């Protein structure tokens, strides 16, 4: 096995072996661009080093051979004071990664060589400055000696010489400084700065390898799901100098504007400087366009190079260069980071120019940035510091005055935008949540009520902000010592979880025409159908605009929570006689029919999956604790005047107690409710049937489907299905009837369920809850700790847990298809809009995903990317 490749022989190898930087350098070399010669030590050497705790036997021999070739090529010799070859060593992994060793420059300098260099260049200052930099970087990177010790010495020297700029120091000054650096080095290292160039080089390469295991790098890989085994390459390259006077310089650039995607070279440079000076930010760089006036030839060469790079890589490039005494050298090239807007623009341009395929364009769009693009976000560089951090529950940014209750939110929102701040939200707060611009809660996780509702409404939300104390009575919220009163303005960023005092300048999320066109290409490439979770006609319309192919989940009970309906719902629940119940049901049926008509109309011609009543009935009643307090108060002030009220509240309390459940999530709800109290679902099916008939009569094409929630046995599904069918047949209707799969058992008996189901839809929120045994209302107490301690790689309510929940889904899909190959299978949980989860759903062969209208665009793109990835993998395997 060969571990070392010269840039000139490596361009057929990929990033896996060369790392990103090495691959870029060898590609540019092959393109005939001016790259300082050098070689790459492959990632394989790094892997081998980490696995066997030593470098491969042949490694140093290969390095020697490559070095000799390099000496031959440059006509210089490593460690030769008369004609010294100086080297840089840089790490370069498959994915760029903060925390890894970056660079050591000027390797090969020793006390002898620096003197030779001084003579050779006639510039003592340059030579000793280079030596000084080497000592400091080597100490830092190889031995972990803080830069601080060296920087203090430099500052002291500048102070004593009364100069501001390093460049103003004389050669003698720098020579003295090197002496001081060497003393500092010895004091901390316990030995003299090594005078063997070979030793310097070996240690630098080893430092690159070791830095793969740095804590920061490990954490970064964990957070970004970069495999641990990849390893990094090390690039050894002949030095070129941008600090050899005013006809030298260094800079970075993009082949396009990374914000807009416009095809014009974009970047900045510094004359008479090395790369690290640009990074350090002591001097202010100039825009690249100004290079033309200083070094017009190099500038033109750079423009030509940029064009060539984009032609070659068929993507926007981010490059680094150095100009040594008028001569341009390219030091790096890679795909450039870009704004979401630019990403679409670039992909679109390249397709239009016939450079890349539509599939390539679609697979290149970074999903996170698309999502970012869709929501208003703070203008970059606003410079404010967050006062609080919670979970980024629903993306987007909102500013408004603080209110503490749903009613207040409704009131205040008439005149001013407001942010609803509560310990947590409940279904009774819906009207307030709909009025507020943003929602902030102290408790709850990524799928708490607040989070789910907020995402569904596209309303920015930060939840589970543990440091937040809400004192509703005093009208104050406290964050550590700080107090914020009702009426004061805050800004929350639901994409990051940050909360700021006052308003922040915002910019709207906009999608340009190019983006829409790229998304339409995505539609042509995906296999998964994309539907929306939508409960209202407004949601349905928005979903349709965003390309939904139907509604995958319409939660009918959400229609009951509105202020004017809840008294009716309570009358139905608390009815003492069949007559009372019937009256309430009749009124509700009429309202529900109208809801259905509007939603079906908005989705005319597309399927609309209506889920029958799911939540436990006590969700519609007042809180038991509120009633308890009320009763206690009334009983203490009991008199003739309030006797009636007391009795009334007491009775209500009794009913609420009867319906109270210890674990409502696993209680009397879903199909169980349909079986023990069928009147409610009968009413719903009647309403749906009437709505359907009315629309059919008016010449429309309603396509309702009925979904029975929370079934866990074939028997209960068959039972409820029969109830539904009887009602439908009284209207002479036949509609598809299916079931929502929300408990693990349903996955285990999916084969039997298919006998009574025309479709099955996985409700992955509840399925995740029960598979893990994590109550989504309570899990925020430990999920944070779990992620922090590395016990969970990610929040399973946000991204589907493939090993657990996923394997249940896979089992269910296989079994269901065994029994009924053509059965329609989908998913309508929160995961329906998340890209890793969508990729999984694609792989296991679901027919559709359904997600919030606001995540539709992302879902369409993800579904296409998943299809492309699978296609690619299949092609590779074939």
Q: What angle do CA 374, 375, 376 make, to 5 degrees?
A: 130
Residues in 375-434 at the binding interface with its own copies, rule: CB under 8 A: none
Q: What angle do CA 494, 495, 496 make, to 5 degrees?
A: 95
Residues in 466-495 at the binding interface with its own copies, rule: CB under 8 A: none
Q: Choosing from 299, 377, 449, 558, which is the catalytic residue? A: 449
Stretch that binds its own copies, among 220-228, 524-532, 546-554, 624-632 (CB under 8 A): 624-632
Chain-centroid distance, C-alpha 113? 50
Q: Which is nearer to its own copies, 632 or 697 (CB)?
A: 632
In this structure, are residues 495 and 375 in contact, taking their beta carbons and an 8 Å threshold?
A: yes
Q: Work out how close the CB of 738 gets to its own copies at its nearest, in angstroms, rounded to a whole number.
A: 18
Query: Where in 494-528 does DSSP place strands (E)?
Result: 498-501, 506-507
In the set 56, 263, 509, 804, which binds its own copies (CB under 8 A)? 804
In the set 114, 808, 851, 864, which binds its own copies (CB under 8 A)? 808
Secondary structure of residue 551 in the 3-state scheme: strand
Residue 150 parent element (H or E): helix 147-161
Residues in 707-736 at the binding interface with its own copies, rule: CB under 8 A: 710, 712-713, 715-716, 719
Q: Work out how close the CB of 685 gets to its own copies at its nearest, in angstroms, rounded to a whole number.
A: 19
Q: Is 851 a catalytic residue?
A: no
Q: Does 218 bind its own copies (CB under 8 A)?
A: no
Q: Which is nearer to its own copies, 227 or 773 (CB)?
A: 773
Stretch that binds its own copies, among 24-32, 251-259, 693-701, 778-786 (CB under 8 A): 778-786
In this structure, are residues 527 and 865 in contact, taking their beta carbons and an 8 Å threshold?
A: no
Q: Work out how close the CB of 281 gets to its own copies at its nearest, in angstroms, rounded to a whole number.
A: 40
In the set 160, 789, 874, 876, which binds its own copies (CB under 8 A)? 789
Q: Which is nearer to its own copies, 308 or 665 (CB)?
A: 665
Indicate the pairing of strand 759-762 with strand 737-741: parallel
Integer CA distances (angstroms), 101 to 49, 232, 233, 422, 702, in order: 16, 10, 11, 45, 62
Stretch that binds its own copies, among 149-157, 384-392, 572-580, 789-797 (CB under 8 A): 789-797
Q: Which is nearer to its own copies, 328 or 783 (CB)?
A: 783
In the set 284, 625, 641, 697, which binds its own copies (CB under 8 A)? 625
Measured distance CA(620)–CA(669) in Å, rounded = 12
Q: Work out how close the CB of 8 gets to its own copies at its nearest, in angstroms, rounded to a whole number.
A: 46
Q: Does 665 bind its own copies (CB under 8 A)?
A: yes
Q: Is 449 a catalytic residue?
A: yes
In the set 624, 650, 723, 733, which binds its own copies (CB under 8 A)? 624
Q: Work out how close the CB of 592 gets to its own copies at its nearest, in angstroms, rounded to a whole number.
A: 24
Residues in 123-142 at the binding interface with its own copies, rule: CB under 8 A: none
Residues in 571-600 at the binding interface with its own copies, rule: CB under 8 A: none
Q: Which is nearer to its own copies, 142 or 805 (CB)?
A: 805
Name the nearest CA neighbour of 231 among 94, 88, 97: 94
Q: What angle do CA 140, 142, 146 make, to 5 degrees?
A: 20
Q: Does 748 bind its own copies (CB under 8 A)?
A: yes
Strand partners, 317: 335
Q: Which long-range contacts (CB under 8 A, 24 or more apart) does 435-439 make?
A: 435/406, 435/409, 435/410, 436/400, 436/403, 436/409, 437/398, 437/399, 437/400, 437/413, 438/396, 438/397, 438/398, 438/399, 438/400, 438/462, 438/492, 438/494, 439/394, 439/463
Q: What angle do CA 519, 525, 526 make, to 5 degrees?
A: 90
Q: What are the φ/ψ torsions at residue 755 (nearest 5 degrees)?
A: -65, -20
Q: Does 633 bind its own copies (CB under 8 A)?
A: yes
Measured distance CA(657)–CA(517) in Å, rounded = 56
Q: Work out how close the CB of 668 gets to its own copies at its nearest, in angstroms, rounded to a whole number.
A: 5
Tokens of 382: 């606003």
Q: Which is nearer to its own copies, 493 or 769 (CB)?
A: 769
Q: Which long-range contacts (CB under 8 A, 24 or more apart) does 480-484 make?
A: 482/387, 484/402
Q: Does 786 bind its own copies (CB under 8 A)?
A: yes
In the set 12, 632, 641, 697, which binds its own copies (CB under 8 A)? 632
Name the nearest CA neighbour of 754 among 744, 746, 765, 764: 746
Q: Does 639 bind its own copies (CB under 8 A)?
A: no
Q: Work out how close the CB of 671 gets to its own copies at its nearest, in angstroms, rounded to a whole number.
A: 9
In the set 30, 650, 792, 844, which binds its own copies (CB under 8 A)? 792
Tokens of 808: 């249940």
Q: Work out how close the CB of 670 gets to its own copies at its nearest, in angstroms, rounded to a whole number.
A: 8
Name the nearest CA neighbour of 827 among 808, 840, 846: 846
Q: Does 766 bind its own copies (CB under 8 A)?
A: yes
Q: Work out how close the CB of 713 gets to its own copies at its nearest, in angstroms, rounded to a whole number.
A: 6
Integer CA distances (angstroms), 137 to 85, 98, 126, 131, 577, in order: 18, 17, 17, 10, 85
Stretch that binds its own copies, among 309-317, 372-380, 590-598, 799-807 (CB under 8 A): 799-807
Measured distance CA(215)–CA(209) in Å, rounded = 13
In this structure, are residues 170 and 236 in contact, taking their beta carbons and an 8 Å threshold?
A: no
Q: Does 664 bind its own copies (CB under 8 A)?
A: yes
Integer CA distances (angstroms), 304 to 251, 275, 285, 335, 796, in order: 16, 22, 22, 17, 49
Q: Which is nearer to its own copies, 405 or 775 (CB)?
A: 775
Left, alpha or beta for 106 (phi > 0: left; psi -120 to 50: alpha)? left
Q: Does 667 bind its own copies (CB under 8 A)?
A: yes
Q: Which is nearer to its own copies, 646 or 786 (CB)?
A: 786
Q: Work out how close the CB of 672 gets to its own copies at its nearest, in angstroms, rounded to a whole number.
A: 5
Q: Work out how close the CB of 803 gets to its own copies at its nearest, in angstroms, rounded to a whole number.
A: 6
Tokens of 340: 């979401």
Q: Work out how close the CB of 453 gets to its own copies at its nearest, in angstroms, rounded to a whole number.
A: 15
In the set 578, 663, 821, 877, which binds its own copies (CB under 8 A)? 663
Q: Does 788 bind its own copies (CB under 8 A)?
A: no
In the set 111, 411, 523, 778, which binds its own copies (CB under 8 A)? 778
Measured distance CA(769)–CA(91) in Å, rounded = 43
- How many residues lie near its own copies (CB under 8 A)? 57
Query: What is the separation, in whole angstroms, between the first and last Cα of the chain?
Result: 27
Residue 219 parent element (H or E): helix 215-223
In this structure, are residues 328 and 830 in contact, taking their beta carbons and an 8 Å threshold?
A: no
Q: Choosing from 828, 831, 842, 851, which is the catalytic residue? A: 828
In the set 252, 805, 861, 867, which binds its own copies (CB under 8 A)? 805
Q: Which is nearer to its own copies, 263 or 667 (CB)?
A: 667
Hey, which residues are catalytic here?
449, 828
Q: Which residues bind its own copies (CB under 8 A)?
A: 624-625, 628-629, 632-633, 636-637, 661-668, 672, 675-676, 710, 712-713, 715-716, 719, 742-745, 748-749, 752, 766, 769-775, 777-779, 781-782, 785-786, 789-792, 801, 803-805, 807-808
């Amino acid at each position: 096995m060969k571990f070392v490749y010269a840039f000139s022989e490596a361009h057929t190898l990929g990033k896996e072996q060369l790392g990103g930087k090495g691959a870029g350098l060898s590609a540019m070399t092959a393109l005939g661009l001016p790259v300082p010669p050098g070689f790459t030590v492959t990632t394989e050497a790094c892997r081998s080093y980490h696995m066997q705790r030593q470098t491969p036997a042949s490694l140093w021999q290969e390095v020697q051979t490559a070095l000799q070739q390099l000496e031959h090529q440059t006509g210089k010799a490593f460690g030769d004071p008369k004609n010294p070859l100086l080297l840089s060593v840089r790490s370069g992994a498959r994915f760029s990664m903060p925390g890894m060793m970056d660079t050591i420059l000027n390797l090969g300098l020793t006390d002898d060589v620096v003197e030779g260099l001084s003579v050779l260049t006639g510039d003592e200052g340059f030579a000793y400055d280079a030596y000084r930099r080497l000592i400091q970087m080597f100490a830092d990177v190889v031995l972990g000696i803080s830069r601080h010790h060296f920087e203090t010495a430099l500052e002291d020297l500048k102070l004593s010489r009364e100069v501001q700029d390093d460049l103003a120091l004389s050669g003698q000054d720098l020579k003295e400084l090197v002496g001081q650096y060497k003393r500092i080095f010895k004091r901390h290292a316990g030995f003299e700065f090594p005078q063997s160039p070979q030793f310097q080089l070996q240690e630098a390469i080893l430092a690159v390898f070791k830095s793969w295991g740095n804590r920061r790098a490990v954490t970064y890989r964990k957070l970004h799901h970069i495999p641990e085994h990849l390893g990094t390459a090390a690039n050894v390259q002949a030095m070129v100098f941008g600090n050899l006077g005013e006809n030298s310089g260094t800079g970075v650039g993009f082949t396009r504007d990374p914000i807009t995607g416009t095809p014009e070279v974009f970047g900045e440079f510094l004359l008479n400087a090395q790369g690290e000076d640009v990074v350090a930010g002591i001097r202010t760089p100039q825009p690249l366009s100004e290079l033309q006036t200083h070094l017009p030839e190099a500038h033109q060469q750079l423009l030509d190079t940029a064009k060539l790079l984009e032609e070659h890589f068929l993507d926007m490039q981010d490059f680094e260069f150095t100009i040594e005494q008028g001569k341009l050298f390219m030091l790096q090239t890679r795909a450039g980071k870009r704004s979401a807007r630019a990403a679409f623009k670039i992909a679109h341009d390249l397709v239009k120019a016939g450079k890349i395929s539509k599939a390539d364009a679609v697979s290149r769009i970074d999903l996170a940035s698309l999502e970012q693009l869709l929501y208003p976000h703070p203008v970059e560089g606003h410079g404010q510091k967050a006062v609080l951090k919670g979970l980024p529950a629903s993306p987007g940014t909102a500013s408004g005055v603080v209110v503490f209750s749903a009613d207040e939110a409704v009131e205040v929102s008439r005149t001013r935008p407001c942010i609803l701040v509560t310990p947590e939200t409940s279904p009774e707060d819906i009207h307030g949540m709909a009025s507020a611009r943003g929602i902030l809660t102290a408790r709850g996780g990524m799928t708490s009520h607040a989070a789910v509702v907020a995402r569904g409404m596209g309303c920015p939300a930060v939840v589970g902000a543990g440091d937040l104390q809400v004192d509703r009575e005093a009208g104050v919220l406290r964050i550590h010592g700080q107090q914020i009163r009702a009426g004061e303005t805050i800004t929350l960023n639901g994409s990051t979880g940050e909360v700021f005092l006052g308003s922040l300048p915002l910019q709207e999320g906009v999608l340009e025409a190019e983006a829409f066109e790229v998304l339409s290409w995505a539609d042509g490439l995906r296999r998964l159908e994309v539907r929306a979770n939508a409960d209202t006609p407004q949601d349905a319309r928005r979903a349709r605009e965003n390309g939904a192919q139907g509604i995958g989940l319409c939660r009918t009970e959400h229609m009951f929570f509105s202020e004017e309906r809840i008294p009716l719902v309570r009358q139905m629940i608390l009815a003492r006689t069949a007559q009372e119940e019937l009256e309430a049901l009749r009124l509700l049926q009429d309202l529900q029919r109208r809801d259905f008509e509007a939603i079906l109309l908005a989705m005319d011609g597309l399927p609309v999956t209506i889920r029958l009543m799911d939540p436990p009935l006590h969700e519609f009643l007042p809180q038991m604790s509120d009633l308890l307090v009320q009763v206690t108060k009334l009983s203490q002030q009991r008199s003739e005047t309030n006797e009636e009220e007391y009795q009334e509240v007491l009775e209500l309390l009794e009913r609420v107690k009867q319906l109270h459940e210890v674990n409502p999530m696993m209680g009397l709800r879903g199909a169980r409710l349909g079986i023990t109290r069928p009147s409610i679902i009968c009413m719903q099916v009647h309403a749906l049937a009437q709505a359907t008939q009315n629309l059919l009569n008016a010449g429309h094409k309603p396509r309702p489907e009925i979904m029975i929630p929370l079934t866990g046995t074939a028997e209960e599904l068959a039972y409820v299905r029969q109830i539904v069918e009887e009602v439908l047949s009284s209207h002479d209707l036949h509609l598809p009837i299916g079931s929502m799969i929300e408990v693990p058992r349903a996955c285990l008996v999916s084969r039997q369920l298919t006998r009574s189901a025309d479709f099955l839809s996985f409700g992955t929120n509840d399925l995740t809850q029960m598979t893990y045994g994590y109550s989504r209302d309570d899990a925020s107490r430990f999920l944070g700790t779990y992620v922090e301690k590395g016990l969970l790689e990610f929040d399973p309510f946000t991204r589907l847990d493939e090993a657990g929940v996923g394997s249940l889904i896979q089992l269910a899909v296989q079994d269901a298809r065994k029994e009924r190959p053509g059965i329609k299978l989908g998913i309508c949980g929160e995961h329906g809009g998340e890209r890793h989860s969508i990729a999984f759903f694609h792989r296991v062969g679901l027919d559709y995903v359904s997600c919030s209208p606001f995540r539709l665009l992302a879902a369409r793109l993800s579904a296409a990317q998943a299809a492309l990835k699978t296609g690619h993998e299949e092609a590779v395997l074939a």
